A and B are shown apart, each in its own frame.
Chain A
Amino acid sequence: MRRVVLLTCWLATDAILFIGTYTLAYFIRVGLILSTDFPIDLYLRTVLAVAPMWLATLTALGVFELTTIQGSRRNILHMFAGAIIGLAFFTLAYYFTNNLFFSRLLLVYAGVLSFVVPLIWHLAFDQWQRRIYRKLPAAYPLLIIGINREAERFIKLLEEKQSPFRPVGILDPQGSSQKDVAGIPVLGKLNKLEEVVKSLKPTHLMQCSNLEHTINLMSVCRQHRMTYLLLPSVLGVVGAGETVESIEGQNVLAVKGR
C-alpha cells in the first residue's frame, strides 16, 4: 500500500515538474509576457499531452523501480535519455498539431531543465521514500537465509544505504550459535521457516548460502507470494560483473571474463 501511495505521489510530482520546467523555459525564452506570436495555451496543451509519454518513458527505463539507485550513473543516463525523448515528443507533437516553427533556444532550455530539475527531485524523493519504507512495520521485510560473511556484508550494506529492503530475521540451515548478525536476530534453522514467514510476513527472501536448498526456498516463496533473491556468492560468483541476459529468449546468468 505504501508503495502505491508513494509511487502515485512520485508520478504526480514528476508530471507537475515536467510541465513546470517547460513553462519556465517558455518564460525564460519569451520573457514575462504572454506572447501572441507564440501563444502559451497551445504550448501548454502540447506539454500536457507529452507529460504522460515522458513518464511512460522513464517507467520503461526502470527509473521508478524500487531497486534503482537514483544517483547511479546508469539512472542519470536513463533520466537524460528520458528528457531527450520527452523533448522529441514535444517537438513532434507541437509541429504536427500547430504546423508552426518555434524557438530552438526554448527547446534547449526545456531539455536542460526537464533533465536537471526532475533529477534533483528524484534524489531528494528517494531519500525520503526510503525512510518511509523502512518505518516499522517495514514495507519490504527481508528474510535472510544463511550466515556467512557475504550475508553479513549484505545486511550491513542494506542498513548503510537505508535500503527499502529491511532485514527482519535470519534462518541458518547450519544452526549457527550466533544470536544476531549485524543486529539482525538469528531465529533458528530452516525447520522454523514456515512459522517465521507467517509471523514476520517477509515480502522478500534472500538466500546467502546452501545452494542445495534453492528449489525448496523458491517453493516456499511461491506458496507465500514472496520474491526469492539469490546472492551470487552462493553460486561462487564473487566480485564479477554478473548479469542476467537472454540468449534466444532463454534467460542465463552471464559472468563476463575480464
Chain B
Amino acid sequence: MQSFILAGGFATRLWPLTERRAKPLLPVAGIPLLSTLVGQIPGAVPVTVSTNAAFADDFKQWKKSVGKSDVRIIIEDAGHEDQKLGALGAVAQWITSENIDDDLLLLAGDNYVGCSMATFLAKFHGNPLIAGHDIADPEAAKAFGTIVLSSTLPSPGSPAGPGGGGGGGDTVTSFEEKPEHPKSTIVSTGWWVLPKSVLPILVDYSKAHPDNVGGIFEELLKRTIPVECFVFKELWKDIGSFESYMSLHCDVVNGAKIINPSATVSPDSELQESIDLGPKTRVNKSVLRNCIAFGKSTITDCVLDRCIIDEDCVLEGVDLTDKMLRRGTILRRR
C-alpha cells in the first residue's frame, strides 16, 4: 500500500493564518496537524505529501522534524489557487508519473480524525473504503460528501431517517458531493482507501473532474463497483474556518494548558480553559481563555478570548474576542 496526503490547498478562509503557512501545518495541541496524521500511518506504508509551490519550503522544513524516514514531498507547480491542478488531478498525475500499481491510502491533510487508522485499515478487504462520520446535522452535511449506507436505508413501512450511522463497515448505496438536499448525515472524512484495480478509473475521471475527490466514489458506484464505509464515532473535524479550527483546538486540548518549554507565563497571568502556547511566547499580566499562540509573540496586559495569534505579534493592553491575528501584528494601546 502507498499513502498520498493531499496538502495542496491555499485555505483562503483561514487567512491570515494561512498567508504563509499551509493548513495541514497548523498546530493542534502544539503539533502540526500533518505530523499527527503521518504518525497514524503504519510504518511500512510510504508517505507522499502533495503540496503547492507557495508552501514548498515549509513542508521541506516540516519533513526534517517528522519522525518517519519514508516521507516524500511532491510540489505542485502552483503559486496560486487558480493555477492548481486540483486535488484529484494531483493524485492522478502522481499515479501516472510514478507508475503506481498498489493499493492507495488517500488522506486529506486538513482533516483531524480521532479514530485509529489501524482500525480503519483493518476494514479494507479489497473494495474502495471511505471513513465516514455521522455529524447528525443535515444543514452542515450540505458542505461535505454525504454517504448513504445500505443499513441506513429505510425499510418498507419504516420512517425514513437520514444519519444514524452504525459503528462498523457497511456498503455504500450512494455518495453525493455537497448535496443540496442531503439524504444522510454521514459524511466523508478525508480518509479513503482505493484498491489498485480502480486507479485507472481515478486517472480517467480526474481528467474531467480534477478537483472532485468525492466524485470518484460516485463514479465507482455508477460503474457498480462496491464501495464500503467505515463509520467511526470518535472526533472528526475538517479545518476549513476559524470556527472549526477553534472548535478542534478546544476538543483536542480539552481544558489543558499546553505550554512550550521556551514559553513564559508570568505569575499574575491567568490561563483559562484550553490554551496552547508555542515556542518563545511571553504572557505577562494577561488573561487568556481558549487561545492558541503559534510562538515568538509577546502578550502584555491583555484579555484574549478565543483568539489565534500567529508568530511575532506584540499585543499590549488590548481585549480581543474571536480573532485571528496575522504574523507580525503589533497592537499597543497608547
- Which residues of A are in contact with B by a Cβ distance under 8 Å? 173, 175, 188-194, 212-213, 215-216, 219-220, 222-223
Given contacts A215-B323, A215-B329, A216-B326, contact A194 B81 (CB under 8 A): no
Tell me which residues across on chain A come within 8 A of B322, comparing CB atoms: 212
Which residues of B are at the interface with A, using a C-beta cutoff of 8 A?
A: 10-12, 15-16, 18-19, 80-82, 242, 320, 322-326, 328-331
Chain B residues positioned under 8 Å from A213 (CB to CB): 15-16
Q: Which of A189, A192, A219 contacts B326 (CB 8 A)?
A: A219
Q: How far is the CB of A197 from chain B (nearest CB, A)?
A: 12
Contacts A188-B80, A191-B12, A191-B19; is A223 near B328 (CB within 8 Å)?
Answer: yes
Q: B82: which of A173, A188, A193 is its contact (CB, 8 Å)?
A: A188
Instruction: Report the minimal beta-carbon distance from A186 to chain B, rounded to whole angstroms.
Output: 12
A194 to B81, CA, bound (A): 15
B-side contacts of A173, CB under 8 Å? 12, 15
CB-CB nearest in chain A for B242:
A212
Instruction: Assess whether A190 is in contact with B330, with CB atoms less than 8 Å apart.
Output: no
| Interchain CB contact (< 8 A) of B81 among A188, A193, A215, A219 | A188
Among residues of A, the one whose C-beta sits closest to the C-beta of B82 is A188
Question: B19–A219 contact, CB under 8 A?
Answer: no
Contact yes or no, A191 B81, CB < 8 A = yes
Asked whether, in the complex, the Cβ of A215 is within 8 Å of the Cβ of B330, the reply is no
Contacts of B15 in A (CB 8 A): 173, 189-191, 193, 213, 216
Check B324–A216 contact: CB distance below 8 A: yes
Q: Which residues of A contact B12 (CB under 8 A)?
A: 173, 175, 189-191
Q: Give CA–CA (A133, B320) in the complex, Å.
A: 39
| Alpha-carbon gap, A193 to B20, bound state (A) | 11
The complex places the Cα of A176 from the Cα of B325 at a distance, in Å, of 23
B80 A216 Cβ-Cβ under 8 A: no
Residues of A near B82 (CB, < 8 A) are 188
- Subset of 18 A-B contacts with CB under 8 Å: A173-B12, A188-B82, A190-B12, A190-B16, A191-B80, A192-B80, A194-B19, A212-B322, A213-B15, A215-B325, A215-B329, A215-B331, A216-B15, A216-B324, A216-B326, A219-B329, A219-B330, A220-B326
